[in-house]
Amino acid sequence: MIFATIVGVTLRALLGRRRTILMLLLAGVPVLLGLLVRANGSGVRDVGATLDGLVVRVVLPLVALVFGTAALGSELEDGTAVHLLTKPIRRSTIVLAKIGVAGTLTAALLVPSTVIAGLLLARPGSGPLSVTFAMAIGVLVGSYVYVAIFVALSVATSRGLIIGLGYALIWEGVLAGLLPGSQVFSVREYVRGIAAILSPAATDSIVGAGALLYAAVALVAATAIASVRLAVYEVRGSD
């Protein structure tokens, strides 16, 4: 009951007109690309790599960042969270509801985007669509893991948005994968690994079968950190 109430309020808060339109546009970029390719008639040779480079590397972390930091962090910033914090509700319940809503919204936008883009990008008559669907499952899991991390960041620090952006663009976008062993700490690698489990042709993956475990650990850890930090969150007045 309380959970549903928090979900409802968060949903209303996240789906403001401007944000929704912006996220729809972002999620539409892979689809647009697919349309252009299809219009050209050729299709791409490696659908998995294209989806990885476009959706997983760029669009997914950005959409997750927007929803993830808005779900709780922005309420803490503008003071509206005080009404939620001064209620007899466990902090973990609040965090779970916020991650649930933001993660589901992210997945709801990006899973269809991945599927449609994959269908459009594939060469006509190229056979089974396992690669596309494998990537879509990876994106589904990745949505929740990214959102959990960004929610935790936005509770732990007031600079959550900047740090999250840095993480998404610099770490995930460039560094992870370059430094040996860093793949273990990269959500993008988890997504690729999960896709590779389902369809080996989807993508090369260094983490391989461990991806699911790593993703689960990251999700649980981020949720726990967010809950603990929320429990000791201090509201400093201007006095």
Partner 1 sequence: MSPQSFAQLPTAGAPAGGPTAALVLEGVSRWYGNVVAVNDITFALGAGVTGLLGPNGAGKTTILHMLAGLLRPSAGRVSVAGQPAWRNPAVYRAVGLVPEREAVQAFLTGRAFVELAARLQSLADPAAAADRAIATVDLEAAADRPVGTYSKGMRQRVKIAAALVHEPSILLLDEPFNGMDPRQRLHMIALLRTMADAGRAILFSSHILEEVERLADGVLVIHAGRLAAAGDFREIRRLMTDRPHTFVVRSSDDRRLAAAFMIEPAVFGTELRDNRLTVRVAEFGGFTRSVARVARDAGVSLFEVAPTDDSLESVFAYLVSRR
Nearer to partner 1 (CB atom), residue 6 or residue 225: 6
Cβ 86 to partner 1 shortest distance, Å: 5
Residue 21 lies near partner 1 (rule: CB under 8 A): no
DSSP for the chain, please give it: -HHHHHHHHHHHHHT-HHHHHHHHHHHHHHHHHHHHHHHHT--BS-HHHHHIIIIIIIIHHHHHHHHHHHHTHHHHHHSTTHHHHTSS--HHHHHHHHHHHHHHHHHHHHHHHHHHHHHHHBPTT----HHHHHHHHHHHHHHHHHHHHHHHHHHH-TTHHHHHHHIIIIIIIIIBTTBTTGGGG-HHHHHHHHHHHH-TTS---SSGGGHHHHHHHHHHHHHHHHHHHHHT-------
Binder to partner 1 among 7, 9, 29, 169 (CB under 8 A)?
A: 9
Binder to partner 1 among 7, 58, 89, 169 (CB under 8 A)?
A: 89
Residue 239 lies near partner 1 (rule: CB under 8 A): yes
Binder to partner 1 among 45, 87, 123, 159 (CB under 8 A)?
A: 87
Binder to partner 1 among 25, 36, 79, 123 (CB under 8 A)?
A: 79
User: Interface with partner 1 by CB under 8 A: which residues?
Assistant: 1-2, 5-6, 9, 12-13, 78-80, 82-91, 231-232, 234-239
